[in-house]
Amino acid sequence: MFEDYQRWQRELERQPVEFLPRRLDGLVEEATARLAAEIGARPDDLVPVTNATSGKNVVARSLPLGPADEVLLTDHEYGAVDLLWQHVCAHTGATLVRAAVDAGPDLVDTMWRSVTPRTRVLSVSHLTSATALRFPVEEICRRARAQGVLVAVDGAHAPGQIDLELEGLQADFYAGSCHKW
């Protein structure tokens, strides 16, 4: 794996004029198509980013939130994602709500008690960083869609760890990292 990375790096550095303007777009398209097949997505729905936190930043900072809106997180979210939503809410005037949830069959119901008519975005991990708890994002997305709430999934630890079918998941945004596993 690292050897592959070094090979690509050497190729870029040997012929940057050949590599960047002439080959890069085709290589990215090929990689995106292969990844899409692996994770059950359409290639046109994928946007390469540096990592999941970068992807979440792109999403969070582009949503039209305001003082009448709430963003719901759980108390299991990755620190950088929590800080991101704190920043976005402070900047937009939206309210950040953190739902305390325990692992178990009532997790989604417990989280849903924090959803209000003002909830615009629900940001949740697919697999949590600290505990590897797998959130039932399928059910979360289904419930959110029925109520008009956007779901932004932090999938940093999911690709390669669990089988993914993103097209069927119906998340509004899913940011994953392919270098973890």
Domains of the chain, by residue range, sit at 2-39, 49-176
Percent of the chain scored above 70 by pLDDT? 99
pTM for the model? 0.90
Span 22-77, pLDDT tens digits: 999 999 999 999 999 999 999 999 999 999 999 999 999 999 999 999 999 999 99
- What's the angle, vertex CA 147, arms to CA 96 and CA 78, rounded to 5? 35
Q: How confident is the model at residue 181 (pLDDT cuts 50, 70, 90)?
A: low
Cα(21)–Cα(85) distance, integer angstroms: 36
- The closest alpha carbon to 102, from 133, 130, 132, 123, belongs to 133
Cα(166)–Cα(181) distance, integer angstroms: 18
Cα(34)–Cα(23) distance, integer angstroms: 17
Assigned architecture for domain 49-176? 3-Layer(aba) Sandwich (3.40)
178 has a pLDDT exceeding 90:
no
φ, ψ of residue 63 to 5 degrees: the values are -80, 140
